[in-house]
Structure 1
Amino acid sequence: MQAIAENLFTDEQPPRLIGGQSKASGRIVFPCPEGDEFEPVALSREGTLWSYTIQRFRPKSPPYQGPEAFEPFSVAYVELPGQVIVEARLTDVAFEDIAIGMKLEFAPMPFEKSTGETVLVPAFRPAAMAEAA
């Protein structure tokens, strides 16, 4: 299964997000911008929940490309220590169990587009899930 966008994840297993590091300042951003000012850098697989929200209604189309039958989902800002804060989905955790500061691990998840095509999107799950697997 392919990522929702090119150059989003590394090819290694397990994959990592690909950020961009400014050649001039060293600052890291996500995703990696095209051009000569940034070079790709693999981001940490582990992070901390910085903030989150629950998406309880179907977003406008476009840009939303998901199925017509909508189910609420959690969206997180995950701090990757010393690198950057990224926005991604949360997976494998009930809404009531989400807590700021919880330890997370990168775990891309399938997303079915309105076309029926399934792609991988950036997601994080509780680190305890990785230890149990």
Structure 2
Amino acid sequence: MVARWFSGDGDDFRLLGTRCSTCASVFFPREDVFCRNPGCSGGGELSEVPLSRRGRVWSYTDSRYRPPSPYVSDPELLWEPYALIAVELERERIVVLGQAVPGITVADLAVGIEVEAVPGVLNEDEETIWTTWHWRPTGVAQ
């Protein structure tokens, strides 16, 4: 089974997590084997749940340097810095990391502003498009 981390498009786009039936803890990325909450007594059944689409910036930084080995980074391609955002999902009581949409920099961000998860492209070549999610400040057109 391939674990799905997100589904849908446009306004239906959602990150997917799992919830433990015993302690109600929510996990992202998904957990399909056991409850990761060390305080969970029963380690209940895990079910897929769509996560809140919107959250608030908890922290952020910029990625200005090409990742070191063993991470994949084609030295022939131009490296483009991007903003990395930690977003607090209040309902789920978790923080989810992700890149900002292209064009949004750390100068556009502040702790506490509202952002939403939108579909994005991580990388592409002639044969494959690797999709992901991005965080976009609400009110910013796609």
TM-score (normalised: structure 1): 0.81
Give the match for residue 108 of structure 2: 97
Counterparts in 2 of 1:127 and 1:34: CA distance versus 1, 3 Å: same
Per-residue CA deviations over 1:74-125 (Å, capped at 9, x if unaligned) read 1111011121210111114233111111110111211115887321112110
Distance 1:114 1:57 in 2: 22
CA distance in 2, matches of 1:35, 1:12: 27
Percent sequence identity is 29
Matched positions, count: 126
Change (3 A) 1:99 1:123: same
Q: Which runs of 5+ in 1 are unaligned?
A: none
Long gaps (5+) in structure 2: 35-44
2:82 to 56, 69, 73: 73
Contact 2:122 2:130 in 1 (8 A): yes
Does residue 39 (structure 1) correspond to residue 64 (structure 2)? The answer is no
TM-score (structure 2 length as normaliser): 0.76
- 1:117/1:42 CA distance change after superposition, 3 Å: same
8 Å contact from structure 1 (residues 67, 114) kept in 2: no
What secondary structure, in the 3-state scheme, does the structure 2 residue paired with 1:51 have? strand
Aligned-CA RMSD value: 2.3
Note if contact 1:67-1:113 (Cα within 8 Å) is conserved in structure 2: no
- When residues 12 and 128 of structure 1 are mapped into structure 2, their CA distance, relative to the original with a 3 A threshold, is closer
